[in-house]
Amino acid sequence: MGDPTRDDLARGDLSLDDLPVRLDGVVKRYGNRTVLDGVSLEVTPGITGLVGPNGAGKSTLVRSILGLVRLAAGSVRVFGLDPAREPRRVRSLLGVVPEDECAVPGLSGVEMVRYAARLCGMPGLESLRRAHEVLDWCDAGQERYRPVETLSVGTRQKVAFAAAIVHDPKMVILDEPTNGLDPLERRAMLGRLLTLARNHGKTVLVSTHVLPDVQSICDRVVVLARGRVRLTGTIEDLTRPAIPAHRLEGDGPLDDLARLLCARGLPTRRAGDDEEALLLEPPGPDRLGLVWESARDSGVLIRSLEPAHRPLEDVFVQALRAADHADMTAEESAGRKVSHATP
């Protein structure tokens, strides 16, 4: 049987032991400071983006999934296992690419990945074969033979990624995986995450500040602020515009096309963000021909025509404003209660 999918979960075909991550009422404090404040969430198969402002608690949340922090309350389950009780088993199921440098100076890239494989109990020759296999997949080239501390940021990231997946984990967790990467490397890294999830059935959790990356590859997003989950859902649902629209991208006189479509009864306007796009009422199958004909008549070459989405950044900002408002209201009402109680 293949790896479970989100559809399996939705149909109830998955037991809780198959659910990659489940947090229930997790509270983490450092001194008297509450960093995770009753976090409950599920990470389902597919790619999930974990986003939030600096200090929101994202890294602490990841550390609690790995069983690296002692919780004040709540429970964490990773494929049904408690990371605090069975840390070794849990870590064998997970691959982690931390944000901080985790290279061992003096080791070459390939030795670093092999070392990670050995730590997971892979025998000698097999660990070397597998290290080369994943480095090939990550396109690490000949740089793999150089000491890790001399590698470019891009190659170091490939080595860290290869080390995280060398033992074929069921789930991969990445902290800021595209930090410092040039646009081509960034795109390649996102492509690898998509391949892992879509072709190899891996669950991927990406903690990042780069919202366009989340919008382009993630199925779901979790917004964390001041240690609480403020919003969670599918990217598709969260970015759906209030008034449904289609976005048409094309080359040629788009203003002529817009006028023609309006004259033919299909209201159309320029997309605010992009000079080469129009927003139109969803044409529906019966009026799709009208769009193509009008494009031909006005000399526009259509590059794409698909449902429009709001930028995830707008959704994120809105969620943070709502969080600020909710926290302020809660503080005010707590203050009122205290002042009522004071004689």
Closest contact distance (angstroms) between CB of 224 and ligand ATP is 7
Closest contact distance (angstroms) between CB of 214 and ligand ATP is 14
Q: Can residue 57 be called a binding residue for ligand ATP (CB under 6 A)?
A: yes
C-beta of 121 vs 212, nearer to ligand ATP: 212
Stretch that binds ligand ATP, among 53-61, 128-136, 184-192, 196-204 (CB under 6 A): 53-61
The 3-state DSSP class for residue 21 equals strand
What secondary structure, in 3-state letters, does the chain show? CCCCCHHHHHHCCCCHHHCCEEEEEEEEEECCEEEEEEEEEEECCCEEEEECCCCCCHHHHHHHHCCCCCCCEEEEEECCECCCCCHHHHHHHEEEECCCCCCCCCCEHHHHHHHHHHHCCCCHHHHHHHHHHHHHHCCCHHHHHCEHHHCCHHHHHHHHHHHHHCCCCCEEEEECCCCCCCHHHHHHHHHHHHHHHHHHCCEEEEECCCHHHHHHHCCEEEEEECCEEEEEEEHHHHCCCCCCCEEEEEECCHHHHHHHHHHCCCCEEECCCCCCEEEECCCHHHHHHHHHHHHHHHCCEEEEEEECCCCHHHHHHHHHHHHHHHHHHHHHHHHHHHHHHCC
Stretch that binds ligand ATP, among 48-56, 120-128, 302-310, 335-343 (CB under 6 A): 48-56
Among residue numbers 204 through 223, which ones bind ligand ATP (CB under 6 A)? none
Stretch that binds ligand ATP, among 54-62, 197-205, 255-263, 325-333 (CB under 6 A): 54-62
* Residue from 19, 21, 26, 35 binding ligand ATP (CB under 6 A): 35
Closest contact distance (angstroms) between CB of 79 and ligand ATP is 23
Closest contact distance (angstroms) between CB of 63 and ligand ATP is 7
Q: How far apart are CA 295 and CA 293, in angstroms?
A: 5
Give the CA distances from residue 171 to residues 116, 164, 203, 281, in Å, rounded to whole numbers and listed in that order.
16, 10, 5, 40
Q: Can residue 52 be called a binding residue for ligand ATP (CB under 6 A)?
A: yes
Tell me, residue by residue from 15 to 34, as one string, x for binding to ligand ATP by CB under 6 A and - for no binding: ---------------x----
Closest contact distance (angstroms) between CB of 217 and ligand ATP is 19
C-beta of 60 vs 268, nearer to ligand ATP: 60
Stretch that binds ligand ATP, among 37-45, 47-55, 163-171, 277-285 (CB under 6 A): 47-55
Closest contact distance (angstroms) between CB of 13 and ligand ATP is 34
C-beta of 102 vs 302, nearer to ligand ATP: 102
Among residue numbers 250 through 269, which ones bind ligand ATP (CB under 6 A)? none
Q: Can residue 154 be called a binding residue for ligand ATP (CB under 6 A)?
A: no
Q: Can residue 64 be called a binding residue for ligand ATP (CB under 6 A)?
A: no
Q: Can residue 59 be called a binding residue for ligand ATP (CB under 6 A)?
A: yes
Q: Which residues bind ligand ATP (CB under 6 A)?
A: 30, 35, 52, 54-60
